[in-house]
Amino acid sequence: MSDNPRFVDIHCHMLPGLDDGPVNLGVSLAMAEIAVADGIQAVIVTPHQLGTYGRNRGATIRAFADRFQSELQQREIALRVLPGADVRIEPDLVSRLEAGEVLTLADRRRHVLLELPHELYLPLEGLLRRLDAAGIVGILSHPERNQGLLREPQLVADLVDAGCLMQVTAGSLVGSFGGQIRDFAASLIEEGLVHFVATDAHGTTCRRPRMSAAFERIVGLAGDRYAEELCSANPAAIAAGRDIAGGRRRRARFRPCGWFPRRRAS
């Protein structure tokens, strides 16, 4: 890993006992060791909030993150932990973000990780406008795994044009969720529609906190610079509460794909 950048993971279910991630501290610590061995230097821990996890309050997540950081330091596991959440969309989301009940990424009050139901797409343009009015930028988690977006891939480009940032799952790029999702994730990279890659890790046996294989896949698809941007520079900016450039990226190389209409040469 010495030739690769140090990764920052903005979507990781590593806190014990809060959601469908690790069931106890032992599993959380093992996940942290896997992450460090793979080159991850910092994680934003993102337990689910709202939806079926309405019991997870912002104060609870902050306290769990602080305690977990202390456990890591006691064991000399060199991983920085920041609080955040993987947030289901509900009508009062913006007001609860403003009140601090629902967490932004790294608790910086600037970016929120949004999760759609996996089986369908719900229009996000109105929410994006309300978030913008509150000074918050929406990041959509794993669009490549949403069945509605798989059926209508052009919606991803429309959302990016509307100001939404996109986070693709590392495992999607290497086939962990099947060939269709792998190919869709690759097409999003090739089209310059992705701003972050994150692990969305949940344990130690599957969906583990690893970024390096996805990084190498992005290098092959779009070059070193874009890979470093998605896996290191952009996530580090979010962890620090800094803005990144939104919109579509100019593709480093052209590969014809079947997901998006081919643009005519001008």
Report yes or no on 27 lying in a domain: yes
Q: How many Cα atoms occupy the beta-carbon half-sphere of 220 within 13 Å?
A: 9
For residues 24 and 58, the answer to whether their CB atoms sit within 8 Å is no
61 within some domain:
yes
DSSP code of 139? E
Angle of helix 58-74 relative to helix 25-37, nearest 10 degrees, comes to 70
Question: CA–CA distance from 57 to each of 4, 21, 47, 144, 209 (Å)?
Answer: 36, 16, 10, 28, 24
pLDDT 10s digit of each residue in the chain, 266 long? 435 569 999 999 999 999 999 999 999 999 999 999 999 999 999 999 998 888 999 999 999 999 999 999 999 999 999 999 999 999 999 999 999 999 999 999 999 999 999 898 999 999 999 999 999 999 999 999 999 999 999 999 999 999 999 999 999 999 999 999 999 999 999 999 999 999 999 999 989 999 999 999 999 999 999 999 999 999 999 999 999 999 998 765 545 455 555 444 33
**Domain contains 138:** yes
Asked, for residue 24, whether it belongs to a domain, the answer is yes
In this structure, is residue 51 part of a structural domain?
yes
In a domain, 171, yes or no: yes
What pTM was estimated for this model as a whole? 0.92
Domain that holds residue 209: 7-239
User: How many domains does the structure of the chain reveal?
Assistant: 1
Q: Which alpha helices (H) appear in 100-146, and where do they start and end? A: 125-133
Would residue 77 count as lying in a domain?
yes
- The answer to whether 203 and 21 have CB atoms below 8 angstroms apart is yes
CATH number at residue 51: 3.20.20.140
Do the domain assignments include residue 250?
A: no
